[in-house]
Structures are given as structure tokens and as C-alpha cells.
Amino acid sequence: MREKAIESRAFPAYSASKTESYISLTKPRLLSSVILSAVLGFILPMSSSNTVLQLLYLILGTALMGAGANALNQWMEQIPDSMMNRTKNRVLPMGKLSGNEALVFAIIISVAGFIVLWFGLNMLTAGLGMLTLLSYVLVYTPMKMKTVANTWFGGITGALPPVMGWAAARGQLDWEVLPIFALLYFWQLPHFFAIAWMYRDDYKRGGFKMLSLDDQTGQKTAVQMLLNCGMLFVASLAVYHVNQSSLIYLVGAYVMGMVFFAAIILFFKESNFDNARKVFLASIIYLPIMISILVFDRFII
């Protein structure tokens, strides 16, 4: 019944809350982390020739393309979202917007973001933005229904925004961008493994293929968390060793890395919802603190 309702839904009438519904389609909390990581990628190689206007173009273009990608993702996943407790109250399953409205909105803002990045910055940044969007929508999203490898591939997509920021600042890509790319990549894996464990029954109802679905004891998930947190620690130190930060950052990287490890070890010892949530909370604390330290390094030290 729900699937038929989604497929046959007409354009709902305009209401005062429709703006909020469109904003909800963009996944603002996820979008904010995308923008922050893009800004970080801009700041690290920034020189005196870079301008505030370039940064504003980067923020606007990334925000529009990221919002478009998130909206397209929700448009593609209307039916599985309607089957999952954690997503059934999103605007499309609830009928606050129609699928057509969501699709048109997503396309318009995605194109607008691409234009901003191309004409405001350069073709390389716009191309990376389009690569991020298309890999998220056309590869990662369908993969979620087919293979557990989706989490590893999705990490690549999620680690591209700082590369966009680097391209915006330099107009080219350099090998020094690899550590910050790796940091974002390996941060995402424990983060999403924790979410997948907490909501594994939901993911099963939605038809998504996640590592946690074939891991009743939690040990497979815990081992992957530990391995990728180890790689995250190495990547965080590499940022210092390519001369993109000071000793203050290095100390912060050690401390935050140990905090993240400690949360994962708790889950390794006892795999349950509460300990998975601790890993999730550690992950959402880790990234903004690390970004803040790097920004502080860049402008204060």
C-alpha cells in the first residue's frame, strides 16, 4: 500500500511548512559536515593570492551540489525509507512533498551549484563536485541494495569535498591532499559501521546490504572499526608530516585518536546498542574538533 501511495502521489498543495520540507530534503546536518570538510581543503593550501570571494563560491557551490545529491538520494530511496523506522518520517514517505517536486528541486540546485563552482572558481573544482554527486547518486546509492561493499565505496564519495576545496584554492591537485582525503575516508567507516549496527533491523527491513546484517555477535563490525580507526590515526599523523599543521595539531590528533579507539574497544568487548552509540558519538565529536584544530593552526599559529 505504501509503495502504491508513493508512486501515485500528486503534487501536494503549497503550505507554509513546504520550505522546511525542502530544507529537510538536503539533510542539513550531513550537509554541514560536507561544507566544513570542503572549507578545510581550501584552507590547508591557501596562499595570499586566494580571496574570501573564492571561499564563498566554494561554500555556496558545495552547499548546492551537496544538497542536490542528498535530495536525489531521498528521491531514489522513497520506498525503503518508508519501511524503516528511522526514516519513515522523512518528507517524501510522509507525503509532505511529491517525488516530482523533490526531483525538480534536486536537479535545479545541483545544476546551480555546478555553475557556481565552474564560473566562480574553476573547471576542476566543478568536475570534482559533479564526480562527488554522480558517484553518490548513481553508484553508492544503488550499491546499498546489492552489496556490503557500499560502505567502503561510499567513503570515497564522502572524502572528495576536501579535495574540491584544495582544487578551489590551488587550481590543481597535489599529492599533499592525500592525507586529508584519507582522514575523511577512514573517519567515515567506523562512523557508518556504528550506525549500521544500531539500526541493523531497520536496514534489513529497508532491503539494504550492510555488514551488520550478517554479524550477530558484532565482532566483524568491531574488527572493521578497529582496523579503520587505526588507518584514521595514521592519516591524521600524516597531515602533520606533510607540513600542514603544527605540534598543537599533532597532540590533538593523538588525544582524539585515543578517544576514538577507546570507544571502539568498548564495542569490541561488548557489542550492544549503547556501545555502538558511544562509537557514533565519538565519531561526531572527533571530526569537528580535528577540523577546528587545523583551522586554528592555519590562522593562529
For residue range 94-103, list pLDDT tens digits in order.
889 898 999 9
Question: pLDDT tens, 29-38?
Answer: 999 999 999 9
Mean pLDDT of the 235-244 span: 90
CA distance 125 to 123: 6
**CATH class of domain segment(s) 18-173:** mainly alpha
- Output the pLDDT for position 214: 83
C-alpha cell at 267: 564495542
Give Cβ neighbours of residue 45 (< 8 Å, ≥ 6 apart): 166, 169, 170, 174, 176, 177
Higher pLDDT, 114 or 9: 114
Q: Is the pLDDT of residue 5 over 50?
A: no
Mean pLDDT of the 160-188 span: 95
User: 64-83 burial, b for 16+ CB within 10 Å, e for fewer?
Assistant: bbbbbbbbbbbbbbbebbbb
- Output the pLDDT for position 301: 58
Considering just the CA atoms, what is the radius of gyration of the chain in Å?
20
Mean pLDDT of the 91-95 span: 90
Question: pLDDT tens, 9-22?
Answer: 444 445 558 889 99
Q: Is the pLDDT of residue 46 over 70?
A: yes
Higher pLDDT, 168 or 50: 168
Mean pLDDT of the 127-138 span: 96
Mean pLDDT of the 189-204 span: 92
CA distance 163 to 34: 11
- Output the pLDDT for position 7: 43
- Output the pLDDT for position 299: 77
- Output the pLDDT for position 243: 84
Q: What is the DSSP letter of 12?
A: P
**CATH class of domain segment(s) 176-301:** mainly alpha
Give Cβ neighbours of residue 222 (< 8 Å, ≥ 6 apart): 264, 267, 268, 271
Q: Whole-prediction pTM value?
A: 0.89
Question: What is the average pLDDT value for the chain, to the nearest integer?
Answer: 90
CA distance 61 to 37: 14
Question: pLDDT tens, 266-298?
Answer: 999 999 999 999 999 999 999 999 999 998 887
Q: Is the pLDDT of residue 129 over 50?
A: yes
CA distance 96 to 91: 5
Confidence of residue 47 (pLDDT cuts 50, 70, 90): confident
Q: Is the pLDDT of residue 125 over 60?
A: yes
C-alpha cell at 3: 509503495
The residue ranges of every structural domain in the chain are 18-173, 176-301
Higher pLDDT, 197 or 299: 197
- Output the pLDDT for position 15: 53
Share of residues in the chain with pLDDT > 90 (%):
71
Q: Is the pLDDT of residue 180 over 80?
A: yes
Q: What share of the chain is helix, strand, coil (3-state, %, to 5)?
A: 80, 0, 20
